[in-house]
Amino acid sequence: MNNILKAVQILCITSILFGCSKKPTDPEPEPPVLNKKIVLSSATKEPEKLQNVTTVNVDSTKLVIQFSNSNTPTYKKGDILIGSTGEGYLRKVESVAKVGNTLTITTSDASLQEAFSKLDIDTSLVFYPAIEQIAPINSSGIVTVGDQKYNYSIECAAPVIATKALSESIPISLPNMKFKLESLDKASKLEVSVERVDVSFRIKADNLKVKLLSGADNHIRIVYNINTITEFTNISMIFKGGIDDSFPKVDDLWPKDISLGTLFISAIPLHFSFNTGFGIQARFLVGVGANMISSFKIVENYNVGGEYINGGWNHIWEKSSTHTSSVDFKPIGNMTGDAKIYLKPKLKIKVADMIGPSLFVRGYVYGELGYPPIKAEAGYGLDGGLEFIVRAFNTNLANFQWVLAEKKWAQWSFINNEPNTPNSESPIDNSTNISLSPTLNWNCSDADGDNLEYDVYFSTSNPPGTLVSQGQTSKSFTKAALSHNTKYFWRVVATDSRDGSSTSPVWSFTTESAKLPSVTTSSITNIAATSASGGGTVTSDGGSQVTSRGVCWSTSQNPTISANKTTNGTGTGSFSSSITNLTPGAVYYVRAYATNNQGTSYGSQVSFTTGQNITLATVTTSATTNITSSGAALGGNVVSSGNSAVTERGVVYATAQNPTTAGSKIASGSGTGVFSVNATGLNVNTLYYIRAYAINSVGTAYGSEMSFTTLPVLLTPTVTTSEPADVTTNSATLGGNVTSAGSSPVTERGIVYSNVQNPTTSNYKVSAGSGTGIFSLSLYWLTPNVLYYARAYAINSQGTAYGNQVSFTTGQNITLPTVTTTAATNITTSSASSGGIITSDGGASVTAKGVCWSTSHNPTVNSNKTTDGAGTGSFTSTLSGLAANTTYYLRAYATNEAGTAYGNEVSFATTSSSDIIFNPNLTYGSVTDIDGNEYKTIQIGTQVWMAENLKTTKYANGNIIGTTNPPNQRIIGELFPKYQWPVNGDENNTAIYGRLYTWYAATDERGVCPNGWHLPTRNDWQVLVTYLGGTNIADKLMETTTLHWPSRTFQATNSSGFTAIATGGRHGTQQENVNGQFFAFGANTCWWSSNQVSVEGATGVGMAYYIEFIEISDGVFKNSGYCVRCVKN
């Protein structure tokens, strides 16, 4: 049964969603992938996946789960538990018991129906950013079909693919593709032009169905439904073809060559001969064809999944599809022709009297006439090539010639064809919503191949009469600073080098309409009980003057200008606002606004809470107790601080009414809550008046007045307590001496004791008879290792008297010591530092302590170890003789007479000499920090930078820089946190990647950089960026290999020697579910500057794997964890 459940779980999570994401490979674009999420609902748990689980033990009725800390989850009756321990299990919770960090869960078997009822499955399709434009296609060559040879050529402008989600339609445009095919052996040709192809492709994947069927043994059917829609529209093709025929030509006037003699070269006879050719050739082509406009659509439906029945799995694959299409043909026709007269004398060189190749060189003159286009040309030149003659029985059977080279020295053209009429590419004629700085693009060609120049006319009238560009050679023109919602007209006149010209039609487009302004809301500052400061920045006027701006606020979300508002001028830019007349202690919502003639737009919403009104504290006076002839127990309760800190509280007393702090008083600390004091030295049998008091910044508040009268003198016994003796783990001997019976006989005497001070007879007591004199007794059944307080007592008719208080601590039970392991630091190729902290010796002296390590888990003192003294407390250990690039497991140990105890296991990996690849062509310096870490340095321009990230755990004066435990602990509530963490929360990364610091730690006045170095300012970073050529310089700063940039999409040179590696960072946002999380390890890197931009924000610098851009960002949360690169003073 468990194996079946495990198979069901694996199938639900992986198998049925077989369209999984595929990791893209560089440099190809990322393909579309299926994002999948299969989660267990809040009532379904997987204990093995919790981060702090150390062990899970399973038997037939219960689960025992051991956690590394007290942060255990809450399970309740009816929860479903699924796990992989043993054969796998599927259980329902019946009851839960917790002892320390261990949960014991009593369970019963859960049914498949209960398991699937807790299963939530969510899927979505995402199309990762694709290549938006592909390079144009140009290809040509010779292809053989049957016994025919054809010249072919393919030309296509750059296809364009949109970037969208696959759940939407994805348009793919394939414009202006032409295919030509011309016969080499026969007079025929074919030309196909594809004017445009628009492809719409969409996948919809949903409807996962999981069904449990009855009537069979464990019959499960799981089916996933996927729909694909492929739609080709606007397919426009032009087919052309025809017959190309030529008139016969006269080739040779002399039937034989004129021999010029034979020359022998190395016994090889070369025969030279001369002849000439003269001919007239005419050619024409008549063609027919068609223009086809078509579209078609394919819709396919798939049901994919599996079925479990009778102990085995069967695949499910069901497919259905529909097809629709349309075609429209329009016939076309054409005719071309030309004529050629040539005279070509020929000089031939061949191996004498042999069948074989010969070289020929010939000069020629030619003339050509043609239509269309109208053509009349003449010229002369030289060509040469290779001739092969097949002879048999003194007869030429075949003759082949190949022209290998040709050079025309002169060419004259007697007829000029005007340029073809220009045609528009963009903007499309009569289009709308065009930007205010459009680029006009057109196409134009010349039948004679003449160079063309263009004049551009542009205006708001038709036809356009304003010449905006004259004599330009490019086929595009950018017109800037246009008006909103305006129709413009334009045309192009093309002129060739022989003054032939043609004019395009008039094209038009309409610009985009004006928009609402863009505005951002500033953070709220100077918050008081009834006022605060705000503001905003109008970043764009939307193309129309901003006539009003300010902030609006309300106690409801999304306030508008119909609520409370300020008016702070006009136009764009930043502004400040004063928010007044607020209610103390209320939550307000604020948005900046900006108004133009299109309406009012709002910035993002921010909120704040006003302060409270400050009043006197509220305090009550407690009843008087333990009244004696000279003292009493007094007290009170500070119920409210009045919204200001209570700096002092206590009780005032006097023999007159309404006592104040100007008279007698007894202070009892500060703050709110219940407190008590003891008044001593009072007069016998006297009436006193008392009041509790509390002082804050407003003044002194008093509680109600109460009174009491001290007692007359009545003598109680006098008793002293002797020192404890014979203290063991559970017993001790104590005693006392009743030196005076007081005013009446002592009826009882003995010892009182407790684990709190000043025990009385209401605590534990042991009687030792009555009367005066010395007495002694033994206390039994004490708790080991507990501090006890004891007093002798004596009772007469006037009351109970107590002797002086003594204390003693019972002995300990001897157990193993308690020790924790320190994370490994200063990791090199062969050494590392660690240590531990012994917090308890277990009741016996620690005789040995240190660390032990191995390449296997759970090392012991029988493995490699250090010996670092004895006793409790912290200690430091140095590990040596390690192997490079190896993972080690480490535990601290401590030994007493009970045995050897081990701390928690930590792991680390030694480095290798090639972990960071610096630029071998540059010379690096070095610098050492307070921790002894040595860093490479590099001079870049006038600056000297550290070429590695800072690793120190101390300030320059030796003080420790704090950290958190665990590393991802949230620090939202801390005002000025000064922390450092290992990169990605793993100390094994420190040797290579350095550490992450909050801005507060990095800018602490004690300094984190080595002496003579400092945290770079924003200007220091800008000097570096400017020197290297601007912001697109990430390739000059990054390490060249992808060892520490595994996903980088471009090549790095590290020409600067800066050697940046991908550390990621630690979130400092105020969102509870994000704060403290490490991010982008292996993908991004980020460093601090010393500049702050707001109460919460500072300037940071970063780079990412996918763009050659370095960003200097103002507004990084100061609580974030960023790296530090120091620059020399």
| Domain-wise residue ranges, the chain | 2-127, 141-251+285-335, 423-511, 527-609, 614-647+671-713, 718-809, 818-909, 925-1128
Q: Is the peptide bond before 966 cis (omega within 30 degrees of 0)?
A: yes
Tell me how far apart the alpha carbons of residues 700 and 677 are, in angstroms, rounded to a whole number.
18
Q: What is the pLDDT of residue 730?
A: 87
Choose among 812, 810, 808: nearest CA to 841. Answer: 812
Asked if the model's pLDDT at residue 494 lies above 50, the reply is yes
Fold that domain 718-809 belongs to in CATH: Immunoglobulin-like (2.60.40)
Cα–Cα–Cα angle for 391, 396, 402, nearest 5°?
90
DSSP output for 803-861: ---EEEEPPPPP---EEEEEEEES--SS-EEEEEEEEE-TTS---EEEEEEESSSS--T
Residue pair 931/961 in contact by the 8 Å Cβ criterion: no
Confidence band of 34 (pLDDT split at 50, 70, 90): very low
Rounded to an integer, the average pLDDT of 888-904 is 94
Q: Say what the pLDDT of residue 864 is.
A: 94
Q: Per-residue pLDDT tens for 721-760?
A: 999 999 988 899 999 999 998 878 999 999 999 999 999 9
Residue 383 CA: distances (Å) to CA of 274, 278, 738 = 15, 15, 141
Which of residues 319 and 765 earns the better pLDDT score?
A: 765
In this predicted structure, the answer to whether residue 602 has a pLDDT above a threshold of 70 is: yes
- Give 510's pLDDT tier (boundaries 50, 70, 90): very high
Query: Cβ atoms within 10 A of the Cβ of 489, count?
Result: 18
* Residue 879 predicted with pLDDT over 90: yes
SS3 1023: helix
Q: What is the mean pLDDT of residues 488-511?
A: 91
SS3 state of residue 728: coil
Average pLDDT of the chain to the nearest whole number: 80
Q: Is 1013 helix (H, G, I), strand (E, B) or coil?
A: strand
Name the residue among 724, 801, 729, 739 with its Cα closest to residue 772: 739
Highest mean pLDDT among 361-375, 670-684, 901-915: 670-684
pLDDT, one tens digit per residue, over 1044-1088 is 998 899 999 999 999 999 999 999 987 878 889 999 999 999 999
Whole-angstrom distance, CA of residue 799 vs CA of residue 732: 27
Question: Which pLDDT score, from 0 to 100, does residue 276 have?
Answer: 56
pLDDT at 42 over 50: no
Q: Is the pLDDT of residue 44 over 60?
A: no
- Tens-place pLDDT, residues 453-465: 999 999 999 999 8
pLDDT score at 477:
94
Contact residues for 325 (Cβ-Cβ < 8 A; gap 6+): 294, 295, 296, 297
d(CA 806, CA 754): 11
Mean pLDDT of 633-655: 94
287, pLDDT greater than 60: no
Residue found under tokens 């999420």: 37
Confidence band for 1035, pLDDT divided at 50, 70 and 90: very high
Instruction: Answer whether 547's CB lies under 8 Å from 596's CB.
Output: yes
The whole-number pLDDT of residue 172 equals: 54
Q: What is the pLDDT of residue 232?
A: 58
* 614-647+671-713 CATH pick, 3.40.50.300, 1.20.120.1460, 2.60.40.10, 3.90.550.10: 2.60.40.10
Mean of the pLDDT values across residues 970-983? Answer: 92
Bigger pLDDT: 124 vs 630: 630
- CATH 3.30.70.380 fits domain 423-511: no
Per-residue pLDDT, 117: 53
pLDDT attached to residue 114: 63
Which pLDDT belongs to residue 1039?
A: 93
Mean pLDDT of 668-689: 94
Dist. CA 555–CA 582, nearest whole Å: 10
Cis bond leading into 372, ω under 30°?
yes
DSSP structural state of residue 428: P
Helices (H) and strands (E) in the chain, counts: 6, 73
pLDDT mean over 368-395: 61
Which pLDDT belongs to residue 628?
87
Look at 279-293, 502-516, 896-910 and tell me which has the smallest mean pLDDT: 279-293
pLDDT of 137 reads 63
Please list, in sequence order, all residues whose beta carbon lies within 8 angstroms of the beta carbon of residue 698, skipping any fewer than 6 positions away: 614, 615, 616, 642, 644
Does residue 891 surpass a pLDDT of 70?
yes
* Residue labelled with tokens 């010029």: 260
Q: What is the mean pLDDT of residues 663-667?
A: 95
Instruction: Say which residues have a Cβ less than 8 Å from residue 105's Cβ, sequence separation at least 6.
Output: 62, 63, 64, 65, 75, 81, 91, 93, 95, 96, 97
Work out the percent of the chain whose per-residue pLDDT is above 70.
69
Q: How far apart are CA 402 and CA 517, in angstroms?
A: 71
Q: How far apart are CA 921 and CA 926, in angstroms?
A: 16
Q: How do strand 80-83 and strand 44-45 relate by DSSP bridges?
A: parallel
CATH T-level fold of 527-609: Immunoglobulin-like (2.60.40)
Q: How confident is the model over 532-565, as pLDDT tens digits?
A: 999 999 999 888 899 999 999 999 999 999 989 9
Say if CB 299 and CB 251 are below 8 A apart. Answer: no
Q: For residue 597, name the pLDDT band (cuts at 50, 70, 90).
A: confident
For the ranges 161-175, 654-668, 1022-1036, the lowest mean pLDDT is seen at 161-175
Choose the most confident range, by mean pLDDT, from 137-141, 249-253, 651-655: 651-655
pTM: 0.29
The residue type of 145 is V
Is 957 exposed, middle or buried, given 0-12, 13-18 or 19+ CB atoms closer than 10 A? Answer: exposed
Q: How confident is the model at residue 279 (pLDDT cuts 50, 70, 90)?
A: low
| Residue 778 binned pLDDT confidence (cut-offs 50, 70, 90) | very high
CATH code for residues 818-909? 2.60.40.10
Per-residue DSSP letter, 1070: S
Q: Residue 127's pLDDT is what?
A: 37
Q: Which of 55-64, 300-309, 519-528, 791-800 has the lowest mean pLDDT?
A: 300-309
**Contact assessment for residue 892 and residue 840, using Cβ atoms and an 8 Å cutoff:** no
Residue 920 CA: distances (Å) to CA of 384, 914, 1053, 1054: 54, 12, 11, 10
What is the reported pLDDT for 679? 94
3-state secondary structure of 1000: helix
* pLDDT tops 50 at residue 847: yes
Strand partners, 672: none
Instruction: Please list the helix, strand and coil fractions of the chain in percent, rounded to the nearest 5, in that order.
Output: 5, 55, 40
321, burial (CB in 10 Å: exposed 0-12, middle 13-18, buried 19+): exposed
Highest mean pLDDT among 119-128, 298-307, 872-881: 872-881
pLDDT at 685 over 60: yes
Q: Is the pLDDT of residue 649 over 90?
A: yes
> Exposed, middle or buried by CB within 10 Å (0-12, 13-18, 19+), for 626?
exposed
50-64, 600-614, 844-858, 887-901: least confident range:
50-64
Q: Is the fold of 423-511 the same as that of 614-647+671-713?
A: yes
Lowest mean pLDDT among 302-311, 480-489, 1019-1028: 302-311
Q: Answer whether residue 87 shows pLDDT above 90.
A: no
**Higher-scoring residue by pLDDT: 999, 168:** 999
